[in-house]
Chains A and B, each alone.
Chain A
Amino acid sequence: MRDAIVIALAVVGLAFTLSGAVGILRMPDVYSRIQCSSKTVTMGALPVLIALVVGQGPISSYGSRALLVAALLLILNPVASHALGRAAYKTRVPMWSGAVTDEPREQSGAGDAPADGPAAP
């Protein structure tokens, strides 16, 4: 029973990780790729880590380190993704031509280009 839970969790995590990697390969611009990278961690890495916790027990050295890595990923991944997205926007990485909204540009006044922002989509 425990082995079945471990295998199911690991397969779910690996499937989501594979889809996230394909998304990073196929998405059209940086911002979409950052979103795929975040999904890879949240839905891909956490089930795999929980599988290790279930398989080895949460008090064993492997299980406790897996929990620690999971907490670290949950805290650090949004911070790093936010910093990367803001840096990409500030360095004017162009958006995809099919992008539908650019909220910082709209808030800074419609029409004129802001001082910091990517080229018009």
Chain B
Amino acid sequence: MAHFYLAVAIAEIAITVLLFIRLAAGPTISDRIVALNTMSTQSALAVLFFAAFAGRTIYLDISLWLASFSYLGAIVWARYLERGLL
């Protein structure tokens, strides 16, 4: 079962690589933010599954940090686009 967790983590990273195309080619800033947001969610899941594969609980905090602060970053970017620098 541990190797299945590793396979899930690798599959999430492979899906993330697809989103690099939209991150590089997005016509507007909003496209890039959407792609970056999805990429960080996928990488949080990948880190979580790699922690379950490796048996290291220290990686779980990294996953939690990624999941929470990526959305905070998206909200900050949206406020910046709407109102400029405060």
Count how many pairs of residues, one from A and one from B, have CB atoms less than 8 Å apart in the complex. 132
* From B1, B34, B48, B57, contact of A34 by CB (8 A): B34
* Contact flags A75-99 to B (C-beta < 8 A → 1, else 0): 0110110011011101101000000
Pair B4/A73 contact, Cβ less than 8 Å: no
Question: Please, how many angstroms separate the alpha-carbon atoms of A18 and B15 in the complex?
Answer: 6
Question: Please, how many angstroms separate the alpha-carbon atoms of A98 and B86 in the complex?
Answer: 36
Query: Within the complex, what minimum Cβ distance (angstroms) separates B53 from chain A?
Result: 10
A113 at the interface (CB under 8 A from B): no
* From A10, A65, A77, contact of B63 by CB (8 A): A65
Chain B positions within 8 Å of A45 at CB level: 41-42, 45
Pair A84/B8 contact, Cβ less than 8 Å: no
* Contact flags B65-76 to A (C-beta < 8 A → 1, else 0): 001100100110
Chain A contact residues: helix, strand, loop or mixed: helix
* Contact flags A40-58 to B (C-beta < 8 A → 1, else 0): 1100010011011001100
Chain B positions within 8 Å of A41 at CB level: 38, 41
With known contacts A22-B18, A65-B48, A83–B35 Cβ distance under 8 A: no
Give residues of chain A (1-39) contacting chain B, Cβ–Cβ below 8 Å: 3, 6-7, 10, 14, 17-18, 20-22, 24-25, 30, 33-34, 37
Pair A83/B78 contact, Cβ less than 8 Å: yes
Chain A positions within 8 Å of B16 at CB level: 21
Interface residues of A (CB under 8 A from B): 3, 6-7, 10, 14, 17-18, 20-22, 24-25, 30, 33-34, 37, 40-41, 45, 48-49, 51-52, 55-56, 61-62, 65-66, 68-69, 72-73, 76-77, 79-80, 83-84, 86-88, 90-91, 93
Interface residues of B (CB under 8 A from A): 1, 4-5, 8, 11-12, 15-16, 18-19, 21-22, 28, 30-31, 33-35, 37-38, 41-42, 44-45, 48-49, 51-52, 57, 60, 63-64, 67-68, 71, 74-75, 77-79, 81-82
